[in-house]
Amino acid sequence: MRSPDWMTSPSTTITSMSEIRLIPGLADAGAGDPFGDGLISRLANEIFAGSHQAPSVPEVPFTPPATVAGAPAHVPSSPAAPAGGSRDIDLSGGFPSSHSPDAPPPVHPTVVGAEPERDVPGGSTPQGGHVPGSSDSHEFGEPYSYSKGFAPTSARSKDGDHFELPGIEPVDLGSQFYFIRELDAPVVSNGLEIPVVPNSGFSGGGFDVEGVRRDFPALHQRVNGHPLIWLDNAATTHKPQSVLDATSSFYGRDNSNIHRAAHTLAGRSTDLFESGREKVRQFLGAADAKEIVFVRGTTEAINLVAQSYGKQHIGEGDEIILSVLEHHANIVPWQLLAKETGATIRVIPANDRGELILEEVPKLFNARTKIVSITQVSNALGTINPVQEIIAIAHSHGVPVLVDGAQSTPHIPINVQAMDADFFVFSGHKVFGPTGIGALYGKSHLLESMPPWQGGGHMIRDVSFEKTIYANAPEKFEAGTPDIAGVVGLGAAIDYLFSVGIPAIAAYEHALLEYATAAMASIPGIRPIGTAHNKASVLGFVIPGIENARIAKYLDQQGIAVRAGHHCAMPALRHFGVENTVRPSLAFYNTHAEVDALVESLHQIARR
């Protein structure tokens, strides 16, 4: 995928990076190497462009993460079976081989630097344009005009053809996910179309997955007599030792409330808390740490926007746009608001692969459209939605967009400025951090204009019985004592992801998804649910005639953890005529051998 010009401009330079351990051999990759052909430089430009922003706490310098204690040790290795012995299976059914026995041993260089920079300098102002019959200007961009780099180009229609948005000069954003190549022919098993994950040309063999796995204590246990194989990562992720240590150290050494005392421990606690905010800023590529609001998770973040921004701007007869692929957390809050205000919800449809029909999006907008709220990656299907193009369309109508990043942040680089999202939300426990903590990103002018949604201490400047003067954002939305230890743990998780390298994680996971998709195609009768061309992590399926709960229980007996159910995405699954699925979901600590064990067990179930 060719990155937009504003992301790969010759003037954009990477001035510093955190210690990012990239894929071995990358430094010596030539132009013909599938993984060296400009891939990492393009990815790095996407997420590390810009200049450094000062920490949010005066006189408290933000120390870039050095090598994280317990971070992956990079020694030559190949993906191996989990501890406790291999689970050999017959590969004659067509499982792809990800490693060549004749391949030379990998070399493991380490790229060392400081904290990654994620700011996008400057920014284009939309040009001209207006809604017919109206001279109003729009806070989110003029109607039917696009900032440079944000106009959608041709996109797939529901029939697979391409279309052009009328009256809009297209800007090439690239048609595919950042390292995805042209599609091959679909894999077919028993007459069913199996999702084709485009071939990246990278096997994942150079990524030191065993080094990563050593950092996650929970992975080294036995369940029902077998080594644990954790394939429920879309529900929650396990935590590296550095996150456990950071949280424990806070409670054992630095525990204090923040911003409320002159003593030493209060200062240390405040420094750690605000350092965590700065790390989230860099993780999301936000312009200012004041644009980061801490919440309990994605669900609370969406509710905050619905109850604060929504109640302020949405009234009777107004419209909210969602998609059919949303998690319930991005449906129910808007339904509650719509019921209270008399607003209406409109839904972006999907095709039979589980891809949003982009040509239908402009048709949903009118003068009463007030907000779009959309997931970047579907938790039930793994579909990667074209959020940047949807944002461009919405902004051309003067409509803000909230992006649910709960399922994208663990897997792909994020830059909210490049995306031009108005709001972006995610949960800590999805990105290898603690439960009960998450973050809301909001553009500064939006957060400052929004009323608080909860009252209490910390979020005020002055209180009397006559009136209260509220603090500015983000404190205005952080009433009471926050989850300080959760923020510390989330910051440690971000440090860990930076130390491994988010582009390297994305490439490895994509290769693993390719492998798993092809391997699962050999299972008799399997019906994949969600066959989008652009996918991340999720491998949902059903096997007709076998209950999903029975499949999940059998896998659990083999030590394999997957989820069976509706995954809080009933409309998405009902689009495929099913009420629930079995959902294995991958993370960067999963291995080819674990995929083999899953497929072997599913073959055993199918034979019964």
pLDDT-derived band at 102, boundaries 50, 70, 90: very low
64, two tokens: 């870039």
Q: Count H helices, E strands: the chain?
A: 15, 21
Give the mean model confidence (pLDDT) for residues 113-119.
34
Is there a contact between 217 and 241 (Cβ–Cβ < 8 Å)? yes
* In the predicted structure, residue 117 carries a pLDDT above the cut 70: no
Q: How many CA atoms lie within 13 A of 439 on its CB side?
A: 35
pLDDT-derived band at 149, boundaries 50, 70, 90: very low
Is there a contact between 55 and 62 (Cβ–Cβ < 8 Å)? yes
* In the predicted structure, residue 457 carries a pLDDT above the cut 70: yes
Give the mean model confidence (pLDDT) for residues 274-282.
98
Amino acid symbol at 121: P
| 28 included as an active-site residue | no
* Per-residue model confidence (pLDDT) at position 607: 86
Lowest mean pLDDT among 142-151, 323-332, 355-364, 448-457: 142-151
pLDDT-derived band at 432, boundaries 50, 70, 90: very high
Percent of the chain with pLDDT over 90: 64
Q: What are the phi and psi torsion angles at 413 (to 5°)?
A: -65, 145
* Per-residue model confidence (pLDDT) at position 206: 77
pLDDT tens figures, 288-326 = 999 999 999 999 999 999 999 999 999 999 999 999 999
Lowest mean pLDDT among 312-316, 332-336, 453-457: 453-457
Q: Cβ atoms within 10 A of the Cβ of 96, count?
A: 15
* In the predicted structure, residue 138 carries a pLDDT above the cut 80: no
Give the mean model confidence (pLDDT) for residues 544-550.
97
Could you give the 3-state DSSP secondary structure of residue 193?
strand
**Which fold, 245-499?**
Aspartate Aminotransferase; domain 2 (3.40.640)
Query: Which residue, 398, 324, 320, 394, is CA-closest to 361?
Result: 394
* Per-residue model confidence (pLDDT) at position 173: 33
Could you give the 3-state DSSP secondary structure of residue 517?
helix
| Mean pLDDT comparison of 39-43, 106-110, 296-300, highest-scoring range | 296-300
299, two tokens: 């669900």
Amino acid symbol at 262: A
Residue ranges of domains in the chain: 209-233+501-607, 245-499
pLDDT tens figures, 376-423 = 999 999 999 999 999 999 999 999 999 999 999 999 999 999 999 999
Lowest mean pLDDT among 32-46, 242-256, 499-513, 530-544: 32-46
* In the predicted structure, residue 62 carries a pLDDT above the cut 70: no
Is there a contact between 400 and 306 (Cβ–Cβ < 8 Å)? no
Those residues whose C-beta lies under 8 Å from the C-beta of residue 445, and which sit 6 or more positions away, are 139
Cα–Cα distance, 412 to 300 (Å, whole number): 23
What would you measure as the largest C-alpha separation in the chain, in angstroms?
79
Is there a contact between 593 and 204 (Cβ–Cβ < 8 Å)? no
Long-range CB pairs of 161-168, under 8 A, 24+ apart, other chains included = 163/359, 165/362, 165/393, 168/144, 168/396
Cα–Cα distance, 16 to 181 (Å, whole number): 29
Those residues whose C-beta lies under 8 Å from the C-beta of residue 229, and which sit 6 or more positions away, are 82, 558, 559, 560, 561, 590, 594, 597, 598
Strands 369-375 and 319-323: parallel
* In the predicted structure, residue 331 carries a pLDDT above the cut 60: yes
Is there a contact between 337 and 310 (Cβ–Cβ < 8 Å)? yes
Cα–Cα distance, 168 to 417 (Å, whole number): 22
Query: Which residue, 520, 597, 503, is CA-closest to 3?
Result: 503
Task: Report domain 209-233+501-607's class.
Answer: alpha beta
Those residues whose C-beta lies under 8 Å from the C-beta of residue 596, and which sit 6 or more positions away, are 81, 87, 89, 95, 519
Asked whether the domain spanning 245-499 has the same topology as the one spanning 209-233+501-607, the reply is: no
* In the predicted structure, residue 75 carries a pLDDT above the cut 80: no
Burial classification of residue 69, based on how many CB atoms lie within 10 Å of its CB (0-12 exposed, 13-18 middle, 19 or more buried): middle
Give 336-365 as a DSSP string. HHHHHHT-EEEEE-B-TTS-B-GGGTGGG-
Cα–Cα distance, 326 to 406 (Å, whole number): 11
Strands 319-323 and 344-348: parallel
* Per-residue model confidence (pLDDT) at position 487: 98
Amino acid symbol at 583: R
Question: Considering 14, 332, 546, 568, which one is annotated as catalytic?
Answer: 568
The answer for 122, left when phi > 0, alpha when psi is -120 to 50, beta otherwise, is left
Give the mean model confidence (pLDDT) for residues 536-545.
97
Cα–Cα distance, 272 to 267 (Å, whole number): 9
Residue holding tokens 């809050």?
333
Cα–Cα distance, 475 to 495 (Å, whole number): 24
Lowest mean pLDDT among 46-60, 300-314, 318-332, 554-568: 46-60
Is there a contact between 538 and 381 (Cβ–Cβ < 8 Å)? yes
Locate all alpha helices (DSSP H) within 354-443, ordered by sequence.
387-396, 416-419
What is the chain's mean pLDDT, rounded? 77
Give the mean model confidence (pLDDT) for residues 1-15.
35
